Amino acid sequence: MSPLNGNEKVEQVAEELKKEANELGREIRQRAEDVKKETVKQLNNAAHTIRKEVRDAKVDKEAVEKADILAKNLEKTAHYLNTHSVDQMGDQATRVVTKNPMRAVAIALIIGFLLGLMLRGDNK
């Protein structure tokens, strides 16, 4: 067996890196799917809890209707997550950002600002 020349070594390293990257990609997608499944479960549980709590609280009809709308939206979100793969959602997000880049940036900034306020946690 002859020793590898420079090009063969580069090709071998590149192939190994490609395999490792593919494996890492599979692991990340699997973890994302696991998180997605847990999120679906939590959203459905939250919808159920909202309905139960509002009915147990004996509040007015308007509050029950608003709670039901909120619960339905949580269930719709859970259904969307449950019926789409992480790759499909990524493709959809890419299309939305490509179609409306300024809106996407504005939404990202608002979400980042709100998350920053929530994570700050100093009650200001």
Which residue in this structure is represented by tokens 């979100």? 77
Do 45 and 74 have their domain in common?
A: yes
Are 67 and 99 contained in the same domain?
A: no
**59 with 118, same domain?**
no
Do 108 and 70 fall into the same domain? no
DSSP E strand stretches across 40-103: none
Q: What is the pTM of this model?
A: 0.65
Other beta carbons less than 10 A from residue 67's beta carbon:
19
Of 119, 96, 92, nearest to 108 by C-alpha is 96
Which runs of E-coded beta strand occur in 11-122?
none
Write down how long the chain is.
Answer: 124
Give per-residue pLDDT as tens, 16-44.
999 999 899 889 888 888 989 999 999 99
60 in the same domain as 96 = no
3 state DSSP class of 52: helix
Question: Do the Cβ atoms of 51 and 6 come closer than 8 Å?
Answer: no
The pLDDT tens digits of the residues spanning 57-112 come to: 888 889 899 999 999 999 999 999 999 988 898 899 899 889 989 988 898 899 88
Q: Quick one: 106 and 73 in the same domain?
A: no
What residue has token string 């071998």?
A: 12
